[in-house]
Structure 1
Amino acid sequence: MATEAVAPAKINLTLHVTGQRADGYHLLDSLVVFTELGDHLWLTPSAVTSLQVTGPFAEGVPEDRRNLVWRAAELAGMPLNIRLDKQLPHGAGIGGGSADAAAVLRTCGGQARAAELGADVPVCLSERPQRMRGIGDVLEQVSGVPAFALVLVNPGVQVPTPDIFRVLARKQNPAMAERLHWPSRAAFLSWLAEQRNDLEAPAIATAPVIRDVLAALRHANGCRLARMSGSGATCFGIFESDAQAREAAAQIAAAQPGWWAHATRSIGSIEV
């Protein structure tokens, strides 16, 4: 019997580039959340591993060992028949293949070796808000992060992460505060508005349409904040209500039929 797993979209609410190591890897400080929207996988134990990719973004996704989910099955030590329903655009700064691979590891084991598949895979093992530092290897669960209505928009262009880092002019930028604490939802949103995605400007220089995406979100009714996620090109808008988010996504999709625009909700912290 197949086991269903969900690979939620990963959103970098903040992405501060704080340095670069001698080996070329960049140092980051990022607050990461996940969403109710994601890819779906069905995993069935099998004699040999196989992969079938379906869904609106199946085109161009490899169905062999080039796909991280295949390699995740190898790390888990469990041959699987995998069906992957791609609901999220790939190469879009929202986790994509890393989240898919993490879903396999989370379901079948092998989590301790997640970093072998890429710097973004370990953070995708949990759906709760996390602070990601170092090269993505220093993770910390974060309390006090509220859930909120979101609109995700991707203009249908890919901006390869190495290219964005290559044109990033300043590699030494301030980190977030050492201690993250917000007494209220309003305080969180005020703090978030003061943070940055240091890759946003170089991404816009590489793909100017990202500026148009941000403008569309910011002009939508109820949008509290719009920012690019990861290295792009997906941008997110935080909205006051689910209804306003759904309305904004529908209006943006109607105005720009070539863009991917979806309303969803983020997954907040578990408070104890």
Structure 2
Amino acid sequence: MLFSETAYAKINLALHVRRRREDSYHELETLFAFAKDGDLLTAEPADTLSLSITGPFAEGLEADDSNLVLRAAKALQVASGTRQGATIKLDKRLPVAAGIGGGSADAAAALRLLTRLWEVAIPDAMMHEIAIDLGADIPACLQSQTVFGSGVGEKLTALIVHDIAGTPILLVNPLKPCPTGPVFKAWDRVDWGALEVQDWRHARNDLEAPAIGLVPEIAEVIAQLQVQPGVTFVRMSGSGATCFALFDSLDQRDGAAQAISATRPDWWLLPTVLR
């Protein structure tokens, strides 16, 4: 029997960097949201664990023990005590290292997928610990719902943000490398204040300026999104280079996608909605 699970694209509606910690990580405050689309994982029962990767962004990805999907699978095996295996396939539809979850979303989707495939019962607290051990964004990606994140992003607080679900959103990436490490290194180390969740439209992404310094094309993406008819909000997600725009209607979102694609066919676009 074949099981499938979407690795939903992660969106940082706001991202405040508060300080750099002694362990070199950064204290963050962020509002996570998720699109209804993303990478796709499938799995079927097998005696051992294996992973294959296809899709438009599969090139350069290793399907070995360094891959977060297999690391998540093995961590779940240990936690559940199961000896079951799985043949896992990852259809890599989202750009890599693009500020929208990527490997973190894939690992979280693998945990959800294999829990169903293997029919194992893992307490929520234990699953959260598995996710934290794999990566800071993975607990949020495991839930894949709107949530406030603090600490390094792993401390999650459930909340209700009105009028988010179903909002038309357009993701745009100029397909320029924007690695997380250099972006954080270029952060100005100024604490510009706390994130007020219910006022997130007037909040910030403190990594936007350093990311633009490294990848100037991000500014062009933002500028193109801001002038589209029906746009209500524009910001960069995570550490970049993906930017997003929210729209009043699906038709206006699709019109913006067509207009931008016509002028910049070299950019990656994903018209979708928030979950």
Return the TM-score normalized by structure 2.
0.90
- 2: CA distance between counterparts of 1:66 and 1:37? 25
Counting matched residue pairs gives: 256
- Give CA-to-partner distance per residue, 1:24-51, whole Å, 9 cap, x none: 1100000010001111110112111111
Q: Identify which of 160, 165, 175 aligns with 1:156.
A: 175
Give 1:197's aligned residue. Answer: 205
Are the equivalent residues in 2 in contact too, given 1:250–1:261 (CA < 8 A)? no
- 2: CA distance between counterparts of 1:129 and 1:209? 28
Give 2:118's aligned residue. Answer: none
Structure 2 residue 127 is the aligned partner of structure 1 residue 108: no
- Give CA-to-partner distance per residue, 1:224-267, whole Å, 9 cap, x none: 11100000000000111111101111211111111001211001
- Give CA-to-partner distance per residue, 1:121-180, whole Å, 9 cap, x none: 111011210000011121011113422110000000121111001111124231113xx4
Give 2:101's aligned residue. Answer: 95
SS at match of 1:75: helix
Q: CA deviation at 1:218?
A: 0.4
SS at match of 1:13: strand
Q: Identify which of 251, 254, 258 aligns with 2:259.
A: 251
Listed as ranges, the matches of 1:131-142 within 5 Å are 131-142=148-159
- 1: CA distance between counterparts of 2:258 and 2:93? 17
Q: Identify which of 57, 60, 80 aligns with 2:86.
A: 80
- 2: CA distance between counterparts of 1:3 and 1:193? 38
Structure 2 residue 250 is the aligned partner of structure 1 residue 242: yes
Give 2:32's aligned residue. Answer: 32
Are the equivalent residues in 1 in contact too, given 2:20–2:189 (CA < 8 A)? no
The letter of the residue matching 2:173 is: N
SS at match of 1:23: coil
- Give CA-to-partner distance per residue, 1:87-130, whole Å, 9 cap, x none: 11111000011001001112324623111111111110112100
Return the TM-score normalized by structure 1.
0.91
Are the equivalent residues in 2 in contact too, given 1:20–1:171 (CA < 8 A)? no
Give 2:136's aligned residue. Answer: 119
The letter of the residue matching 2:107 is: A
Q: Assess, with a 3 A threshold, how the Cα gap between structure 1 residues 95 and 43 changes in structure 2: closer, same or farther.
A: same
The letter of the residue matching 1:67 is: N
- Give CA-to-partner distance per residue, 1:39-71, whole Å, 9 cap, x none: 111011211111111111111111111210011
Structure 2 residue 2 is the aligned partner of structure 1 residue 2: yes
Listed as ranges, the matches of 1:140-219 within 5 Å are 140-145=157-162, 146-147=164-165, 148-177=167-196, 180-181=197-198, 191-219=199-227
Q: CA deviation at 1:198?
A: 0.1
SS at match of 2:98: coil
The letter of the residue matching 1:14 is: A
Structure 1 residue runs without a partner (length 5+): 182-190, 268-272
Give 1:20's aligned residue. Answer: 20
The letter of the residue matching 2:259 is: Q
The letter of the residue matching 2:19 is: G
- Structure 1: 4+ residue segments shifted above 4 A: none
- 1: CA distance between counterparts of 2:61 and 2:259? 29
- 2: CA distance between counterparts of 1:79 and 1:72? 13
Q: CA deviation at 1:192?
A: 3.1
Give 2:71's aligned residue. Answer: 71
Give 1:186's aligned residue. Answer: none
- 2: CA distance between counterparts of 1:48 and 1:243? 46
- 1: CA distance between counterparts of 2:270 and 2:253? 9
Percent identity of equivalent pairs = 45
Structure 2 residue runs without a partner (length 5+): 78-83, 116-121
